[in-house]
Amino acid sequence: MSTLETPSPPPPPSATATVRPLAKKRARPSEQLFKWLVVGLTAITMAMLIWLITSVLIRGAGSISWSFLTDKPSSNPAKAGFNSALRGSVVLMMVTIFFAWPIGVAAALYLEKFAAQSATLTERRLRERLTTGRVSGLGAGWVHARLWWLRIRPRVVHLIDVNISNLAAVPSIIYGLLGLAIFVGVMGISKSLLAGGLTLAVLILPIIIIAAREALRAVPISIEQGAMALGATRWQAVRSQVFPAALPGILTGTILAMSRAIGETAPLIVVGGVVFSTAVPSLNPLEAGNEALLAMPLQIYFWTDQPQASFQAIAAAGIIVLLATLLVMNLVAIILRNRYSKRW
Amino acid sequence: MLLALAAAATISVLVTVGIVVVLVEEGALFFTDVPITEFFTGTQWFPLEGKFGVLPLLNASIVIALIAAVVAVPLGLGSAIYLSEYAPERLRRVVKPVLEILAGMPTIVLGFFALDAVTPALQMVFPGLGLYNALAAGIVVGLLITPLISSLSEDAMRAVPNSMREGAFGLGATRRVVSLRVVIPAALSGIVASIVLAISRAIGETMAVTLAAGTIPNLSWNPLEGMQTITAYIVQVSKGEATRGSLQYDSIFAVGLLLFAVTLVINIIAVRIVRKYRTVYQ
């Protein structure tokens, strides 16, 4: 009990002792000090955030204009615009989502709704088929293979689980190296928006899987069981009941994953991101394989890296555009969640 | 159809396999030219002169991660204690998402902030501080990982059942004592894991350190000097169009392999800490 503070000794009794109300008791200085310490530390963190945002706003607000959004890049900071970078980011996001979303959602559906289900019924049915001797030869081999798969499935699923959470913690620049070696090196895709988009797709795949699984888990099992009790197969129940109910949650997670991808710089530089180009990429995602890899964060990096103060100003303006995009994406995610999320 | 779904799930495993294979294969090419002992013991990293001692890069990554931890541990733990033990619920619901904005901030923005605001401010304190220095880089990386520590630690602290707090209050403990002697020890595994994960994130951080700490390899513990981290080196080479198959090209995979191994080990340690020391309360 030495860890607890000993209460101060009671005041000596006197004839006129009055009962002092507890609430009026002054807190000990050490208590006050500790409270102000934690309040202060929280305040410092918030103050740093405010400092960051105001310093960017002050530096960049003067350079924000309509022509900044519509002009091509230029080596003259007064004329340089953000249009190519904006276009590049839009195409990148289209490519990223095109590859990452279907794969991520499919993986989540499998892991959450099919692989995790108990297999006793299927197993019994398969064993019956073997014992009744209705199958032979190749057929029996197939049944044995399925039984073996059912036996090792929980371990495989656990392995995939661990693997996905580990992937989410891999530094993003490592994904850049992967993209450089596989998409550019092995597959021979040029250092383009397509290669960049594929790399970002791999980067956000674990994030989408984790978010989609959480959304699927939030749908009560009774929905699925109800559908199956009415005669639906598990596939039908998942497709027409569980998936639509989980969709708003999945989309929210997807938007948050995209907001991670749109701010990524390092993997794009490694895959061959162009930091300076006067090209204006087409908005057609089918052309992504032929367009130079340009994106908002790359352009900001190039400008920040220049020593002249005038480039710092347009870098800040670019950051304002990037942060505004992120803000809009997050607002959409919040609205989606509040509007369509169901309380079961 | 089910097979297609299962195939999608295996892609995530293929990604891991791909990362390991790519790093090991290209890294092995590098180590056929540069002896592995020279790589780990050499104190000079001048790729153009064929000097490949990785210690300056590794040292810089560690120095910056340590500065980040010095910044982020007090800020993150302080915020976590405040949010979990002191803040009224309504304030908590505002403060927590605001702190998490920092975690979602693109790191290029933090790099800009370091160069444009933090370094000039530090130059007022340390006259003669160069434009590129590890201190500013460490501070902004610290800001980036603060919400990671505060969020995860706060979750761990809130998982401590109220009955434990009430028991301590009943014995006459004050709020400070309850926070420091009851809640923190009970949530310690989660808190330590959050710090370890945050340090792993700091080591893998790229853009803020590339912009703020510079691109000159420098084996030094002085945070006021510029230094190049592992990640900054990868960026520098990638920008310069190293041709495929050249020693420089291979070298980024070799240092990438080192980075991957370091962060993986740290993450495994974090998972172990949670699993070994976690107390489960109902």
pLDDT tens string, chain A, 344 residues long: the values are 444 455 555 555 555 556 555 555 566 888 899 999 999 999 999 999 999 999 999 999 888 888 888 887 777 777 888 888 999 999 999 999 999 999 999 999 999 888 877 677 778 888 888 787 667 777 888 888 888 888 888 888 888 888 888 888 899 999 999 999 999 988 988 888 999 999 999 999 999 999 999 999 999 989 999 999 999 988 899 999 999 999 999 999 999 999 999 999 999 999 987 766 777 888 888 888 888 888 999 999 999 988 888 888 999 999 999 999 999 999 998 888 888 777 66
The domain segmentation of chain A, as residue ranges, is: 76-117+171-340
Closest by CA to A290, choosing from A173, A169, A152, A194, is: A194
Could you tell me if A291 lies within 8 Å of chain B, comparing CB atoms?
no
Residue A256 dihedral angles phi and psi, to the nearest 5°: -65, -35
Cβ-Cβ pairs closer than 8 A, A with B, add up to 251
Query: Which residues of chain B lie closer than 8 angstroms to A110, CB-CB?
Result: 2, 5-6, 8-9
CB contact under 8 Å between B259 and A259, yes or no, is no
The domain segmentation of chain B, as residue ranges, is: 42-246+256-277
CB contact under 8 Å between B6 and A39, yes or no, is no
CB contact under 8 Å between A301 and B211, yes or no, is yes
Q: In chain A, which among 116-135 make CB contacts under 8 A with chain B?
A: none
Domain A76-117+171-340: CATH superfamily is MetI-like (1.10.3720.10)
Helix (H, G, I), strand (E, B) or coil at B191: helix
Which residue of chain B has the CA closest to A202? Answer: B15
Q: Dmax of chain A from CA atoms?
A: 103
CA distance A228 to A234: 6
Among the partner-chain residues B9, B78, B203, the one whose CB lies closest to the CB of A42 is: B78
Lowest mean pLDDT among A22-31, A287-296, B114-123, B211-220: A22-31
Could you tell me if A295 lies within 8 Å of chain B, comparing CB atoms?
no
Sign of the Cα torsion A292, A294, A298, A303 reads: positive
Beta-carbon contacts of A204 under 8 Å, excluding residues fewer than 6 positions away, are A96, A100, A104, A257, A258, A260, A261
Q: In chain A, which among 133-192 make CB contacts under 8 A with chain B?
A: 159-160, 163-164, 166-167, 169-178, 180-182, 185
CATH number for the region B42-246+256-277 comes to: 1.10.3720.10
A192 forms beta bridges with A292
Beta-carbon contacts of A325 under 8 Å, excluding residues fewer than 6 positions away, are A89, A262, A296
Query: Which residues of chain B lie closer than 8 angstroms to A55, CB-CB?
Result: 113, 116-117
